[in-house]
Amino acid sequence: MENMCPFSLLILLALSIFGPNLVNADTVRPTPPPIFILGDSTADVGTNSYIPDCKAAANFPHNGIDFVNSRPTGRFSNGLNSADHLARLFGYNSSPPPFLFLHSLKYGLQLGIYRGVNFASGGSGLLDDTGLQLNVLNLPQQINQFVTLRENLIASLGHESTKALLGKSLFCISTGSNDIFVYFKTRSTMPKEEFINHLMEAYENHIKTLYSLGARKFGIISVPPVGCCPANRLLNGTRCFEPMNDFARCFHSALEKLMCNLTSELHGMKYSLGDTYKMTIDVIDNPQPFNFKNVDTACCGHGALKAEGICNATASLCSDRRQYIFWDLFHPTDAAARLAANTLYGGPTHYVSPINFAQLAAEN
């Protein structure tokens, strides 16, 4: 082994991490594009587990109870999250790994060229200060990690090949909920319209930064009805906390306008915007067609609605997890995340517009 060239070692390492289907002569379907994922806990596949003193981790039971070997993976889920399910829909065996995991490997960052990288950090938001007390990675820090990855790609592939690779890659962003949570938790007196505009200014800056680094295809996941999370229902008895939902609706409307404007300004930019507010509220209002029975209580937690404490090894745990929308105080179950990913990937325009994620990936 000591005489093996670095490239051969890289291929062996890639096969050991990504599985035998990385190179398969019998595979006839097109190679899926690399996927780069940024955002919060809805897309975090273990980033926070690698951050020392992080106060927003999920690398303990009962998290991961339905993952392979019931292993906690750092996902805020009983199994997989939407980022994982989207990766599978695009043709990957598993989700792009966290940047911090790849960074710990000798040739890890070069492996990002095969299927992409996940930068999402639970607790983060659009604003720099969101999640600051939790010691998580805010969006500018996630983008800085992408800059490091991009530099490694350029060193390995050259400028033109890196430009071509990033031009066909998908950049999926799922963020905004935590900014709204903080607004209400801190009892901010900033008017709603001003606050939403503040978030949109931050979103615009982040997208323009990624565009300047080579991103062209953006899969944007909007804010769901956060007032209906079990923890936030406790603010209104057991019913959805509508003031928070109102912010989520305004967020989506403003984001829809922003993305439309950016495509006129940024040459070659394409996007797909998932209206997760409508997707989720339709399930909450009429769960049976989607095979859900419980839409207000967490599957794992403590106290009323199992929303008075985090999901941990001593928490009460439901047995019928496929029938619950919510896994814990804030996050969806594996089943709900799969439904969301399926809708983002192939859903109609009243849920995801102007095109869905599958159509975005196919765009030249």
| Closest by Cα among 321, 279, 333 to 80 | 333
Tell me the per-residue pLDDT of 26-66, one tens digit each, with 9 for 90 and over. 434 578 999 999 999 999 999 999 999 999 999 999 999 99
| CA angle (307 as vertex; 334, 139 as ends), nearest 5 | 60
Query: What average pLDDT does range 234-256 have in this prediction?
Result: 97
Nearest-angstrom CA–CA distance, 231 and 283: 18
The torsion of the CA quartet 303, 307, 312, 313, rounded to 10 degrees, works out to: 30
Mean pLDDT of the chain: 91
The single residue listed with the structure tokens 């690698």 is: 50
Phi, psi of 185, deg, nearest 5: -65, -35
pLDDT for residue 64: 98
Which tokens is 97 given? 């790994």
Known catalytic membership, residue 212: no
Tell me the per-residue pLDDT of 321-352, one tens digit each, with 9 for 90 and over. 999 999 999 999 999 999 999 999 999 999 99
DSSP state of 128: T
Query: What average pLDDT does range 124-144 have in this prediction?
Result: 97
| Encoded amino acid at 9, one letter | L
List 44, 84, 328, 334, catalytic entry: 328
pTM (two decimals): 0.91
Known catalytic membership, residue 121: no
pLDDT band at 4 (very low <50, low <70, confident <90, very high): very low
pLDDT band at 103 (very low <50, low <70, confident <90, very high): confident
The single residue listed with the structure tokens 């939403």 is: 196
List 41, 82, 124, 272, catalytic entry: 41
Phi, psi of 157, deg, nearest 5: -110, -20
**Residue 113 near residue 165 (C-beta atoms within 8 A):** yes
pLDDT for residue 31: 85
Tell me the per-residue pLDDT of 65-99, one tens digit each, with 9 for 90 and over. 999 999 999 999 999 999 999 999 999 998 999 99
| Encoded amino acid at 326, one letter | F
List 85, 206, 252, 331, catalytic entry: 331
Known catalytic membership, residue 129: no
